[in-house]
Amino acid sequence: MRIIAGKAKGTRLSSVSGLTTRPTGDRVKEALFNILGPAVTGSAFLDLYAGSGAIGLEALSRGASDVVWIDASRACTAQIRANLEKARLSGGTVYTNDVFRALVQLEKAGRRFDFIFLDPPYGQGLVGKTLEHPSLADVLKKEGIIIAEAGKKEEAPIAVSKLCLKREQRYGDTKLLFYDMRGS
């Protein structure tokens, strides 16, 4: 697992030992950032269920101005901080918190993001549950995009809350789901 492009290109990242996290593969990560393209530069990026922090680190390396990582595991957030230091990147904030509580806190703080990436554990229904959380759409900028990583067998809602599925990409056992605000 490595940073693919940008200021920290080539930096090898570490993940938490064990099977509790499943890092996004380099192929999927590269495809994601090819789709997002230059819009990442200068953006505010939220990485939910962040694990090793690889997606947010890639965004920061590619020029995102602000990245926030959220993970409930102290081991994961410690690993994100270690990977940030290893990559010599700045401009990010790491929070150890439940994703749903964190979304409420970010909404109350008036935070808004251009991109929100969520990669919950597969097969637990957390993609739908997270997309349904009212604060998620409220922390997304009007023209923003939510990207959910899910297992290929997981059902993805076409429309949920204020969001609408605009694109789905499959890569082996993984799929990326792209949502934006209805009417955008």
Is residue 183 domain-resident? no
Distance, C-alpha 58 to centroid of its chain: 10
Q: Is the residue at 21 inside a domain? A: no
Q: Give the model's confidence band at 18: pLDDT under 50 very low, under 70 low, under 90 confident, else very high.
A: low
pLDDT given for residue 30 in this prediction: 92
Residue 99 lies in a domain: yes
Please choose, from the candidates 32, 34, 56, the residue with its C-alpha nearest in 3D space to the C-alpha of residue 44: 56
What pLDDT digit, counting tens, does each position of 72-85 carry?
Answer: 999 999 999 999 99
| Average pLDDT of every residue of the chain | 92
Domain contains 41:
no
CATH number at residue 138: 3.40.50.150
Please return the burial class of 37, using the count of CB atoms within 10 Å of its CB with bins 0-12, 13-18 and 19+. Answer: exposed
Q: How far apart are the first and last CA of the chain?
A: 34
Range of the domain at 106: 46-161
- Give a yes or no: residue 179 inside a domain: no
37 in a domain, yes or no? no
Q: What 3-state DSSP class applies to 144?
A: strand
Name the residue type at position 103. L
Q: In this structure, what token pair is assigned to residue 46?
A: 């939220």
Total structural domains within the chain: 1
